[in-house]
Structure 1
Amino acid sequence: MAASLRPLFLAIIPLLMISSLIRSSECQGLGFYWASPEDGNLADICNDHTNGSYEYVAIACLNFTGAISVPPYCTTLGPDIDICQGLGIKVFLSLVGSPDLSPEYVLGTEGFICNEFLNDSSGPSVLGATVNGTDFHFRSGSNNSLDLLAQALRDNCILDDKKVYLSAAPRCQIPDYYLDAAINTGVFDYVWVQFFGDPVRIGPGNRQTQVNTN
């Protein structure tokens, strides 16, 4: 009987360790993704976070489909961004859409992002407030030169008054077609994996399943 219970006991130990870590962390380090006003008022979300658990928010406000553009509803987010940052929440500019960058345009794109969204001393931001960093969140288009853009943001966007953060949001399949090369540069401060709406490889034979958060 004792021998038969040993595998069960060994299996329970990691679960107890994980449970202990979860309780001790008190859900610190959570973030959320804001894609449009349909997700709610940004300032209200930051103000309503429970026990200060949110530390990050990524706002989808720079679209790389065709000419790089900022959705009109993002240009009035300045006061909301200030409120979130005042609560200690880091705000990331999420780069979305269908990019098709060439190496020749990387430095110009990096300079635009750095000066218009991150640099407090370069004048009013397109958003009405500067953000803490950039987030790579691509699901279509080309993966050309995204690694060069990530490297350029790390190497060239150096501000005296604050650290510039970089994050990436790959899908859970490895490798992520769009972000793998960029992540492999090693320049990202955060990588948050998106498990929703994506087929996942699990178990022997790489069986496919669908993760559904509903």
Structure 2
Amino acid sequence: MAFHLRQACFLLLVALLSQHLTSGLAAANGRGDIGVYWGRNKYEGTLREACDTGLYNTVMISFLSAFGHGKYTLDLSDHSESEYDIGIDIKHCQSKGILVLLSIGGQGGEYWLPSSKSAADLADYLWTAFLGGGRAGVRLPFGDAAVDGVDFFIDQGATEHYDEVAKRLKDYTKYSRVGRAMVLAATTRCGFPDQRLEKALDTGLFDRVHVKLFGEDRKCMSTPRESWEKWAAAYPRSKVFVVVVASPDTAAAPAGYLPPRDLYYRVLQFVMRRRNYGGIVIWNRYFDKKTHFSSAL
């Protein structure tokens, strides 16, 4: 009897210690994943350097800034390294467990999808050129490196056909030769909903939703927590991220900068409790390198 009592007490102690350790790990990782946009300034350093900082779990290469009219342009802001070298860096980042996505769209690009055919063409191009599909006659900008997925950063133009791109890309997953699921992300404006991406998001195919708490929507940004929670409630099956600008410099964003302390007390301490909270995404690597914003988090 005494043996069984001691055994029961031991098992209870193990359970309590396990619960304590699990709670501690959850608290330590409460900020979630940290992502960053890379490719917007030639002085930000290489992709490899960004990954070697140990600061980021995800990197968005930005941007494929022209598509939809038979022309595709990868705009990496005059980075001196070749696209082939970036491909080597992509594989280096992935070897460290860092997710690498290609961000399409952006600000000031030449992109739109005037038809279902243009949507199909874009999906096919992304699959063959960047996602490991491969096809004779299609140039592979990053060599034999394949990104892990696509981020829809649609900040201009018409709203149609992005849902068709998402569906077609997900259909390709079963043919993937890279041995991992394709990740789809959408970077939205602060205000809910974002008409440019609403139909695409309603497909339910997006793994991640990145909500920008900066930009030009000053009314929305005056209540950043409430704005983010609308997105989290609307897409409970997606991981929803807080996207913040790393500098008060207006060259980074016209408005919406929150210092790390304000970000925590106004937003993070509340939204981290949501089941589908994913983490934080930094705009962008160049400004983060200057201000050490992600380190302060």
**Displacement after TM superposition at 1:84 (Å):** 0.9
Quickly say closer, same or farther: Cα 1:195–1:35, change in 2 above 3 A.
farther
Partner of 1:150: 166
Q: Give structure 1 stretches of 5+ with no counterpart.
A: 1-19
Query: What residue identity is the alignment partner of 1:68?
Result: Y
Mapping 1:53-132, distance limit 5 Å: 54-64=56-66, 67-71=71-75, 73=79, 75-76=83-84, 77-96=86-105, 97-101=109-113, 102-119=115-132, 125-128=140-143, 129-132=145-148
Would the alpha carbon gap of residues 175 and 126 (structure 1) be closer, same or farther in structure 2, given more than 3 Å must change?
A: same
1:157 offset after TM fit, Å?
Answer: 4.2
- CA deviations on 1:104-126 (whole Å, 9 max, x unpaired) are 22222211110110116658731
Work out whether residues 33 and 57 of structure 1, in 8 Å CA contact, stay in contact via their aligned partners in 2: yes
Moved >6 Å (runs of 4+): none
Deviation at 1:177, TM superposition (A): 2.4
Q: What is the number of equivalent residue pairs in this alignment?
A: 189
Say whether residues 1:211 and 2:256 are aligned partners: yes
Counterparts of residues 5-44 of structure 1 (less than 5 Å): 23-25=27-29, 27-36=31-40, 37-44=42-49
Residues 213 and 256 in structure 2, CA contact (< 8 A), matched pair in contact too: yes
Larger radius of gyration: 2
CA deviations over 1:25-77 (Å, ceiling 9, x no partner): 15441111113334322110110124xxx221111141236522223747231
Question: In the alignment, residue 174 of structure 1 is paired with which amino acid?
Answer: F
Determine the C-alpha separation between the residues in 2 that align with 1:156 and 1:82. Answer: 21
CA RMSD of aligned residues (A): 2.9
C-alpha displacement of 1:138: 1.4
RCO (CA 8 Å, sep 6+): is it higher in 1 or 2?
2
| Secondary structure class of the residue paired with 1:104 | helix
Query: Percent sequence identity over matched residues?
Result: 28
Cα distance in 2 for residues equivalent to 1:196 and 1:108:
32
**Secondary structure of the corresponding residue to residue 213 of structure 2:** coil
Change (3 A) 1:99 1:143: farther
State TM-score, norm by structure 1: 0.76
